[in-house]
Structure formats: structure tokens, C-alpha cells
Chains A and B, each alone.
Chain A
Amino acid sequence: MEHFGSMLALAAPLGLGLAAVGSAYGIGRAVGSAMEAMGRQPEAAGKIQVAMIIGAAFIEALTIYVFIAYFVAMGKLG
């Protein structure tokens, strides 16, 4: 496997980018809906914000897992 290193060097950042695209879409939807809800009911803004942050953390965690896998892969690259 002489091309192992170059394949890994291509694939790992690409995977991270793909994960970031998915997370960005998810967080965009979550925050957009939260903003709409806050605009409709400003008195509930605090509760909505807390729920939004929790949701965003869960969505973002998926990218972070890929990020850790990325570092593991990069470690293999040497």
C-alpha cells in the first residue's frame, strides 16, 4: 500500500469537511427555527435559547467525533 498515506491525507480532511457540512445544515435549521420562535414569543426567549444551545451541542458533537477521528488518522500518517 504505497498510496496509503496520500489516500489518507486526501480522505481525512474531506470527511471532516463533509461532516461540517451536515452539522452546519443542522445547526442552521435549529438556530433558524429558534430565532423564529423567539421572534414570535419574545417572553419565552430564555427557555428557547437554553433548548437551542443543548440541541446545537448535540448536533455539533457529531462533527467533533469526526474531528477526533481525523486526528487519529493524521497520527497514523506520521
Chain B
Amino acid sequence: MLVYFAHVLAIALPKAMPWLMVAASGGHGDDHGDDHGGPGHLPSLVFYIEHYLQTGWLEQWVNVIYAFVTAVILVVLAQVAYRKREMMPGPFQNAVEMVVEGLYNFFHSILGKDAMRYTPFLGTLFVYILINNWMGMIPLGHSPSTGLEITLSLALLVFFYAQWTGIRRLGVVGYLDHLAGQPRDAITWVMVVLMFPLHIIGELAKPMSLALRLFGNITGEDTLIAVFVGMGIAITPFIAEFVGIPLQTPFYFLGLLLSTVQALVFALLSTIYILLMLPHEEHEH
């Protein structure tokens, strides 16, 4: 019921203020600064603030602002959960422990005994991206994952962490050996000329594909919801201006599912990239 009212609120607000229709249903407003073609999205709180203050620079920071909001939410949750630890956990502590343990078990099934070392990074990545993706479903919220700057920086973080892991666990020589395709006999030594650039291109393609996948999925999902919000308002011009039909309701459920899957895929692929950098002997199953 609460969710339903949230939908009504989300569609009533743009309806009440006609200039917002531009943001909801097309995206070529007067000062729309997106350089990636400007897909339509629902107006966020930052959009309203920008409209009243007219700062001129606030809206291009909207992804970064909401990324910080997500980070603050997670930090506060973690602090609250960490401060009052008890042997008999309450509902909140129980939920947090369940999430952490679930993530640990998941990464343990892939990384084996190295999971303890990499779960803090990968688990945080998963939770952070999940909340980031879900931010777009909150009324007045905006998903930071719809900005390439956020997803690309996350992907670059994974890239550098994976390279650093490779150098630290394999050593510099082992790392170069890994990049050269581990030449052991004459034929593979000849193949190094081919394999070395191939591996480097492959390593560079990983963050690009990670970033573009998350960006494209979440942008598509939010655009879909925004288009259906605009449609729901457009088909009821004869009713009062606060009313629209929540046509986007089914797509919220689709969005919840997609956001979870995308966060999972990002964390999973990061795990695989790190796993590929670890010494191989330990991981023969």
C-alpha cells in the first residue's frame, strides 16, 4: 500500500509542475547537460533544488550527490549495526549478519579460502551497487548508476584492484608471466608475441564492459519507468492535474529484479577477475 502511494506521489509531482514534463518525457530541456544523449528520467530532488536555486552547476553533479547519499546510508547502517553488538541479536543485527554471512558464503563458493581476504571489498561493492540501483525507484531519488562516471569509476576500482592483486600474489615476474600466457615450451614462447597484446587488450576491455553493462542496464530500466510515468500522465488529461494512472507499477518489480541481478553480476565478474589473478595451483577443484 505504501509503495502504491509512493508511485502516486512520484507521478503526481511531475504532473503538478508542467516544466517537469520535459525532464520526464524527453530530456531535451533548455539546460540539460547530459552528454550521453540525454535519456529521459524522473525528476529527482536535486532537480527541484536546481530549479529553485538556479545554480547552473548542481544538476551535472546529481549522480555524484546520490552516490554520496548511498555511501552515507551504508556507513550509518554499518555503524549502527556495529556499535550495539549483542550475543542475542535483535532483528536489525540479525538482518545485517544474514546479509554479510550470505555474501561471505557466496564468495567462498568461488574463491575458496581466499574469500576472507576479498569479501570486504567485493561484498561492499555488491551492497553499494544494489543500493545505488535501487535509489532510482525511490520517489525523488535518482540512480547514480545511470551516470557513466560512477559505473566507470567503480569498474576502474575493480580493474586496479585486480591488477594489484595479481602483482602482489604472483610477484612482478609471475604477473608478467601470467600476461604472457605462461610460456613453458618453444611454441608458447613464440606465441608470446601474440598473447601479450591480446591479454593486455583483454584486461583493458574488462572495466569497459563492466561499466557499460551496469550503466546501460540501469539507464534502460529507469528510462522505461520514466516513459511509462509520462504515458500514465498523458492519457488522463481530463482528470485533475494531480492524478495519473500508475502504468509503471509492473516495471518497478522488473526493476527490483534487474537491479539485484546487475549488482550480482558486477560483483560476480569482479570476483572472477580477481580469481583469474590468483595463483592457479590453489584453485584446482
Contact = CB atoms under 8 A, between A and B. Distances in A.
Interface of A: 46-47, 50, 53-54, 57, 60-61, 64-65, 67-68, 71-76, 78
Contacts of B268: 50, 53-54, 57
Nearest to B37: A75
Q: Which of A50, A65, A68 has the most CB of B within 10 A?
A: A68
A72 B212 CA distance: 13
A50 B272 CA distance: 11
Q: Taking chain A's interface residues, is the majority helix, strand, or loop, or is none over half, making it mixed?
A: helix
Given A61-B209, A74-B39, 20 more contacts: A46-B109, A50-B110, A50-B268, A53-B268, A54-B265, A54-B268, A57-B265, A57-B268, A61-B212, A64-B217, A65-B216, A67-B219, A67-B220, A68-B36, A71-B36, A71-B37, A71-B39, A73-B37, A75-B36, A75-B37
Contacts of A60: 213, 217
Interface of B: 28, 36-39, 109-110, 209, 212-213, 215-217, 219-220, 261, 264-265, 268-269, 272
19 contacts: A50-B109, A50-B110, A53-B261, A53-B264, A54-B265, A54-B268, A54-B269, A57-B213, A57-B265, A60-B213, A61-B209, A65-B212, A67-B216, A68-B212, A71-B37, A72-B36, A73-B37, A75-B37, A78-B28
Contact of B212 (A54, A64, A78): A64
Contacts of A47: 109
Contacts of B220: 64, 67
A61 B213 contact: yes
A11 to B, nearest CB: 15
Contacts of A75: 36-38
By Cβ-Cβ distance, the 10 closest A-B pairs, closest first, are: A75-B37, A64-B216, A71-B37, A57-B265, A61-B213, A67-B216, A68-B216, A74-B37, A72-B37, A64-B213
Nearest to B215: A68
A57 B269 contact: yes
A52 B223 CA distance: 27
